[in-house]
Structures are given as C-alpha cells and as structure tokens.
Homo-oligomer: A and B are copies of this chain.
Amino acid sequence: MRETLKLKVMEEVQAENDRQAQETRRKFDARGIFAINVTGAPGAGKTTSIISIAKNLKDQSIRVIEGDIESNIDTVKLDRLGIDTQQINTQGACHLDAPVIAKAADALDLQDGSLLFIENVGNLVCPAEFYVGEHVKMLILTATDGSDKPYKYPLAFEKADILLLNKCDLLPYVDFDEEYFMRGVRALNKTAPLIKVSGKTGEGYKEVADWIIQRRSPK
C-alpha cells in the first residue's frame, strides 16, 4: 500500500517535471538559447570541460547554471574566467530537476542566442532520469573510472547525445579496455559521438566545440 502510494507520487513528480521542462524548452527556443545538460560522476571533470569548451567557442555568449549539493567552488572558478554563472545548491538532492532550472534560468541574465551549460550534480544515476528542458545531454566519463561503466550505468549512456572520455592523458598509467568500453557504449547508443579529451592538456575540446556549433545550427 505504502509502496503503491510511493510509486504514484513519483509518477506525479515525473509528470510535473516534464511539463515544466517543456515550458522551459519553449522559452529557450523562443529566445534562440541552446542548452546543454552536462552530466557525469563526481570528479569526471564537468567544470573543467565547460571551461575548455568555452575557450574554443570565443564568439559565443556563454552562460552556466552550476548544480551542486553544497559549495560554490565551481562557480567561483567560472566567474574568475569571466563566465556568467548561477549557482544552485540542491541541499542534498541528487540531481537537478525542471522546476529548479526554470527558476535559475530566470535569475540568470540570459542574452538571446546564448549557449547555456547546465552542470548537473556529480552522479551517474539520478540526473539521467530528469529532463530539464535541454537540447542535448553531454555525458562525461573518465579513463580512470574503468571501462565497465556502460554496463553498470546504462541509462546515462542511452540518453546521451555526446560522450566525452576525459583524463585521456592518464591512459598510459591505467588499465582501461577501450574495445570493451566502446562495445558497451554502442550496445546502448548507436549514434552519439565519443570524443577523447583531456582537461589537463586541452586535447579534444576543439572537436567538442565544433560538434556543438554543428548541432546547434545544422548546415
């Protein structure tokens, strides 16, 4: 009985989330704003990747919504580089949801035509379940986290529009089975490009930036 009530409430929460996400998406579209939902495990290098992509997109107006359970460490980092950022502290919640993003997007001074990065809470599970109004989902993995991730966290891989394999500068020092990893990725997701990057050396981010530009305005 309690279990049924729990499931019913969860369904309602999900439906309300999706309704609000669609409304946010309509607002983004009306203003020519392109939104990227950036997900990945804790320490995957989400903020570093946003910074490295931004460096390769100098002609774009870039804004960031920064989701963390606590702290404003990443917002301080982004602000220092002149990237306009709105911090969200979820107070324990394990993902960003549509109501929270709708509010943050209103609070952020979003220029028409902006490119908006929404950095989700570090978590390979829950953020994959919540659409927040984004145009694309970017999933960041790392060479140091092991090659079995697609097999263990399939939903995040299924839903990704682009995958980054970060910390590739450490590949010589770790046992990462690329063939096994790619087989897992392609069983779940046939089309999303996977780009090898390194937050340390900057390798690969030009290609990511080009993909974003192409995806935003296909020619």
Contacts and interface: CB of A to CB of B under 8 A. Distances in A.
B16 A146 contact: no
Contacts of A123: 94, 123-126
Most B-side CB within 10 Å, residue of A68, A94, A155: A94
A213 interface: no
A151 B71 contact: yes
Most B-side CB within 10 Å, residue of A9, A122, A170: A122
Contacts of A129: 92
Give this chain's copy count.
2
A1 to B, nearest CB: 11
For chain A, give the interface size range: 35 or more
Interface in A56-71: 68-71
A12 B6 CA distance: 9
Contact of A94 (B68, B125, B142, B144): B125
Interface string A132-152: 000000000010111011011
Given A41-B122, A125-B121, A153 B2 contact: no
Given A9-B9, A41-B124, A73-B148, 5 more contacts: A2-B12, A2-B16, A42-B152, A71-B151, A169-B173
14 contacts: A2-B12, A41-B43, A41-B124, A42-B149, A70-B151, A70-B153, A70-B154, A71-B151, A92-B125, A94-B123, A123-B123, A123-B126, A126-B126, A170-B170
Interface of A: 2, 5-6, 9, 12-13, 16, 41-43, 68-71, 73, 92, 94, 121-126, 129, 142, 144-146, 148-149, 151-155, 167, 169-170, 173-174
